């Protein structure tokens, strides 16, 4: 305000300005997102980036362009712009405004001269080029990129506005043409395949994953090869041992993500299956964390310790905070965990889960790829009003709107610039929500017809509301019905409007008994009420007997999975390493329909490397010797012993190898069903 209005030259000027200042501050408070939207389990995302819709998952859909992604790895927003690390395309995409529509094109590309190019170190390694960039962040002024394949962090002192703009500063290397891991020897200046770099506007934090440490620069570096000031996870800058001295509050093993709200430090200690919290930014080397999540204590490191739930983690990769809430990417469990307040005690349970319907589920694309589901999510970010998640296997980024303005909408509501109503179970199909009846005085013929449909006298008249149905407006806003089926739009534009129900949020086989879409007139001063009736399919139609009469279609659909109303089909595969072998555990509840099965193994770029036929009936456990997996083309040549002076193709983000796998099964007609893509970190 002082710079803008120059009111503070003398006391009289300040007194004259006070009335205007009071009004200005009042309006400013109303414009700040000070209240938070209540997220719910399994909540749908609002926008998808990288794909034309929520059901598509093709890399570079329609051809590489400003709209597409291939192997997206990290994301960040400064509240206005959006930045995505598009790893396989060796580029960073920048949107000058956070997208509000699906498949929106980016405005600027870094690492490539144009949106159709995707060459690693295009034109030779330098200040403009990238190889497998997996990290991107911004403090609103500068841009930080983790150039993973070149073992360096690049800094732009101002947000680039043109394609292929060169960086200003490089960390981890003495110059822009060097690319050796731990160049010159392990120290405060060097990096070995770093994974994340973030800034709180004052400091810079980098996860140096292969060196099992986090480096802290107390001021934003302004010169190349500048040394870090503090190291976390190691007693000094020359040590790189994982869990140095034994797993504890000081140690790390392949840290994947880092975040800070300017007061606290959060690190996802990936291989230890935990998140560590420092209540104040560390100022000395090897400083102990104050709180651990995912484990009951600092010495534990078991995945899903005690059983999958709201407290446990399996390979947490990403961590983020908006200063109030904490967000964690629980990678192997295919979910995002959210704490509504920053935890202060060990093993605190999360409050919200995204990507799964509950805290005990972990299936990739649970229920089918959609706006609710995730498959191997990688990184997460929040600008306080939106939540951004990299849904890696689905080749997309999902955006949730998570904050609302703290404004009093009461006056508009009373004046009638609002719509409210209910979505209800219309049992008798008359388009009206009938009140409960104590007596059944209907004609005997009608009673028999209802009884044949599986309805009893007690059911009649109990036309309850339906929870979780999306009501969409032509203005682009929507509402979700509550447990009583009620919904409302607190404020909507006057004039002719159109409302409709989203059919994907209705039970399968449901039939509308009222018009949808529905045209309405919103008039100021008149409250508009609109309700929708929905009739469910009858129980008999869904029974095996009803199907035998040809009323419900075949028992088997396109997939070999049975009707979910009858069986709740389940096909899962998980893995673990035991010394010189890998054990795959298979779960299936429709094995009698399976005629053939294959276990497919993929390399780090998700290219099929090996297909293993399985015996029928499906085994509960299947063992694969480690010697059959280690080596090209599955894990390449990178090993923990290779250091400076070598240049292997980067295939992992720390001293382990990543194996991807999937189980496919087929029925007698050749119909295929498959699990989501699993991932296992191999220690070799």
Tens digit of each residue's pLDDT (9 = 90 or more) over 480-518: 888 788 888 777 777 778 888 888 777 667 888 888 888
Alpha-carbon span 587 to 589, nearest angstrom: 7
Maximum average pLDDT range among 97-101, 161-165, 539-543, 586-590: 161-165
Give 283-306 pLDDT, tens digit per residue. 999 999 999 999 999 999 999 999
Q: Kindly report the average pLDDT of the chain as a whole number.
A: 80
Which parts of 264-344 are beta strand (E)? 265-269, 274-278, 291-293, 316-321, 326-330, 335-339
The pLDDT value recorded for residue 39 is: 83
The yes-or-no verdict on residue 32 having pLDDT over 90 is no
The residues that bridge with 230 in the sheet, in sequence order, are 216
Give 328-386 pLDDT, tens digit per residue. 999 999 999 999 999 999 999 999 999 999 999 999 999 999 999 999 999 999 988 89
Average pLDDT over residues 206-212: 96
Strands 291-293, 274-278: pairing kind: antiparallel
Kindly state the tokens that stand for 407: 């404004």
Give 144-181 pLDDT, tens digit per residue. 999 999 999 999 999 999 999 999 999 999 999 999 99
The yes-or-no verdict on residue 453 having pLDDT over 60 is no
Per the CB < 8 A criterion, the answer to whether 193 and 180 are in contact is no
Spell out the alpha helix ranges (H) of 32-131: none
Grouping H, G, I as helix, E, B as strand and the rest as coil, residue 639 is coil
Number of H helices, E strands in the chain: 5, 43
The pLDDT value recorded for residue 658 is: 78
Q: How many CB atoms within 10 Å of residue 651? A: 17
Give 215-244 pLDDT, tens digit per residue. 999 999 999 999 999 999 999 999 999 999
Of the listed ranges 52-56, 195-199, 207-211, 606-610, the least confidently predicted one is 606-610
Which parts of 470-580 are beta strand (E)? 470-473, 478-480, 486-489, 495-501, 511-512, 518-522, 528-529, 532-535, 571-578
Could you tell me which of 65, 659, 128, 54 has the C-alpha nearest to residue 400?
54
**Pick the residue with more confidence: 554 or 102?**
102
Could you tell me which of 258, 257, 251 has the C-alpha nearest to residue 272?
251
Give 99-123 pLDDT, tens digit per residue. 999 999 999 999 999 999 999 999 9
Could you tell me which of 479, 351, 339 has the C-alpha nearest to residue 423?
479
Grouping H, G, I as helix, E, B as strand and the rest as coil, residue 450 is helix
Average pLDDT over residues 442-459: 44
Give the burial string for 12-23 (b: 16+ CB within 10 Å, else e). eeeeeeeeeeee
When pLDDT is cut at 50, 70 and 90, the band that residue 257 belongs to is very high
Q: What is the DSSP letter of 427?
A: T
Alpha-carbon span 558 to 591, nearest angstrom: 17
Per the CB < 8 A criterion, the answer to whether 127 and 160 are in contact is no
Per the CB < 8 A criterion, the answer to whether 150 and 135 are in contact is no
Per the CB < 8 A criterion, the answer to whether 457 and 442 are in contact is no
What's the predicted TM-score (pTM) here?
A: 0.59
Strands ordered across the beta sheet of 143-147: 133-138, 143-147, 152-156, 169-171
Q: Give pairs for 201-204: CB < 8 Å, separation 24+.
A: 201/139, 201/140, 201/141, 201/262, 202/262, 203/260, 203/281, 204/144
The yes-or-no verdict on residue 393 having pLDDT over 70 is yes
Alpha-carbon span 526 to 412, nearest angstrom: 11
Grouping H, G, I as helix, E, B as strand and the rest as coil, residue 120 is coil
Burial class (CB in 10 A: 0-12, 13-18, 19+), 452: exposed
The yes-or-no verdict on residue 534 having pLDDT over 50 is yes
| Integer angstrom CA distances of residue 504 from 325, 364, 471, 507, 567 | 30, 19, 11, 8, 21
Alpha-carbon span 385 to 39, nearest angstrom: 12
Kindly state the tokens that stand for 106: 């980016």
Of the listed ranges 38-47, 307-316, 487-496, 631-640, the least confidently predicted one is 631-640
Q: What is the DSSP letter of 166?
A: P
**Pick the residue with more confidence: 473 or 25?**
473
Q: What is the DSSP letter of 628?
A: G
Average pLDDT over residues 511-540: 78
Alpha-carbon span 534 to 337, nearest angstrom: 34
**Pick the residue with more confidence: 52 or 80?**
52
Percent of the chain with pLDDT over 70: 77
The pLDDT value recorded for residue 461 is: 45
User: HSE of 212 in the Cβ direction (CA atoms, 13 Å)?
Assistant: 24
Alpha-carbon span 241 to 554, nearest angstrom: 59
Alpha-carbon span 442 to 614, nearest angstrom: 59
Alpha-carbon span 420 to 427, nearest angstrom: 22
Q: How many CB atoms within 10 Å of residue 24? A: 13
The yes-or-no verdict on residue 635 having pLDDT over 80 is no
Give 641-677 pLDDT, tens digit per residue. 333 333 344 444 445 677 888 888 887 777 777 777 7
- DSSP annotation string for 564-614: TTTS---EEEEEEEETTEEEEEEEES-GGG-SEEEEEEE-TT--EEEEEEE
**Pick the residue with more confidence: 429 or 544?**
429
Per the CB < 8 A criterion, the answer to whether 89 and 112 are in contact is yes
The pLDDT value recorded for residue 403 is: 64
**Pick the residue with more confidence: 320 or 588?**
320
Per the CB < 8 A criterion, the answer to whether 190 and 170 are in contact is no
Average pLDDT over residues 257-285: 96
**Pick the residue with more confidence: 445 or 608?**
608
Per the CB < 8 A criterion, the answer to whether 415 and 398 are in contact is no
The residues that bridge with 4 in the sheet, in sequence order, are none
Average pLDDT over residues 246-274: 95
């Amino acid at each position: 305000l002082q710079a803008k209005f120059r009111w503070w030259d003398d006391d009289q000027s300040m007194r004259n300005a006070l009335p205007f200042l009071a009004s200005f501050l009042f309006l400013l408070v109303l414009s700040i997102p000070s209240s938070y939207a209540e997220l719910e389990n399994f909540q749908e995302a609002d926008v998808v980036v990288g794909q034309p819709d929520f059901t598509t998952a093709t890399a570079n859909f329609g051809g590489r362009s400003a709209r597409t992604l291939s192997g997206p790895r990290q994301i960040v927003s400064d509240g206005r712009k959006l930045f995505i690390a598009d790893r396989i395309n060796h580029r960073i995409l920048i949107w000058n405004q956070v997208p509000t529509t699906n498949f929106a094109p980016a405005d600027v590309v870094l690492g490539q001269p144009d949106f159709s190019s995707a060459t690693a170190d295009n034109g030779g390694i330098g200040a403009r080029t990238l190889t497998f960039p997996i990290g991107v962040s911004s403090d609103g002024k500068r841009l930080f990129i983790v150039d993973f394949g070149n073992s360096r962090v690049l800094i732009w002192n101002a947000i680039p506005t043109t394609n292929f703009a060169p960086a200003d500063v490089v960390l981890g290397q003495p110059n822009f043409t060097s690319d050796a891991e731990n160049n010159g020897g392990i120290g405060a200046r060097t990096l070995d395949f770093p994974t994340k770099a973030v800034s709180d506007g004052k400091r810079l934090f980098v996860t140096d994953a292969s060196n099992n440490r986090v480096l802290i620069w107390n001021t934003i570096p302004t010169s190349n090869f500048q040394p870090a000031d503090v190291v976390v996870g190691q007693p000094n800058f020359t040590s790189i041992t994982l869990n140095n001295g034994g797993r504890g509050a000081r140690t790390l093993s392949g840290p994947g993500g880092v975040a800070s709200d300017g007061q606290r430090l959060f690190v996802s200690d990936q291989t230890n299956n935990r998140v560590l919290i420092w209540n104040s930014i560390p100022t000395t080397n090897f400083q102990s964390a104050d709180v651990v999540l995912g484990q009951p204590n600092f010495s534990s490191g078991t995945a899903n310790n005690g059983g999958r739930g709201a407290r446990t983690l399996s390979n947490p990769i990403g961590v983020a905070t908006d200063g109030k809430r904490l967000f964690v990417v629980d990678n192997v469990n295919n979910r995002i965990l959210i704490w509504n307040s920053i935890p202060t005690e060990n093993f605190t349970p999360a409050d919200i889960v995204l990507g799964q319907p509950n805290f005990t589920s972990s299936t990739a694309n649970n229920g089918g790829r959609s706006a609710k589901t995730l498959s191997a999510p990688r990184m997460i970010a929040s600008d306080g009003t939106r939540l951004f998640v990299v849904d890696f296997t689905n080749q997309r980024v999902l955006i949730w709107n998570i904050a609302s303005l703290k404004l009093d909408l009461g006056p508009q509501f009373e004046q009638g610039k609002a719509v409210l109503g209910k979505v209800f179970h219309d049992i008798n199909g008359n388009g009206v929500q009938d009140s409960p009846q104590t007596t059944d005085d209907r004609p005997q013929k009608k009673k028999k017809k209802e009884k044949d449909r599986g309805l009893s006298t007690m059911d009649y008249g109990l036309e309850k509301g339906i929870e979780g149905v999306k009501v969409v407006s032509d203005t682009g806003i929507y509402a979700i019905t509550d447990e009583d089926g009620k919904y409302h739009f607190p404020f909507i534009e006057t004039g002719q409007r159109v409302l409709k129900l989203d059919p994907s949020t209705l039970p399968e086989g449901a039939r509308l008994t009222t018009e949808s879409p529905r045209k309405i007139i919103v008039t100021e001063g008149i409250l508009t009420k609109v309700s929708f009736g929905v009739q469910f399919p009858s129980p008999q139609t869904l029974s095996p007997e009803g199907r035998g009469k040809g009323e419900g279609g075949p028992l088997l659909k396109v997939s070999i999975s049975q009707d979910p109303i009858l069986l709740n089909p389940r096909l899962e595969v998980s893995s673990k390493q035991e010394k010189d072998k890998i054990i795959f555990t298979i779960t299936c509840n429709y094995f009698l329909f399976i005629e053939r099965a294959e276990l497919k193994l993929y390399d780090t770029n998700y290219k099929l490397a090996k297909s293993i036929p399985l015996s029928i009936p499906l085994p509960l456990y299947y063992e694969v010797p480690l010697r059959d997996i280690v080596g090209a083309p599955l894990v390449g040549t990178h090993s923990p012993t290779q250091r400076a002076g070598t240049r292997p193709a980067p295939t992992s983000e720390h001293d382990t190898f990543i194996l991807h796998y999937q189980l496919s099964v087929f029925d007698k007609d050749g119909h295929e069903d498959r699990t989501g893509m699993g991932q296992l970190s191999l220690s070799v």
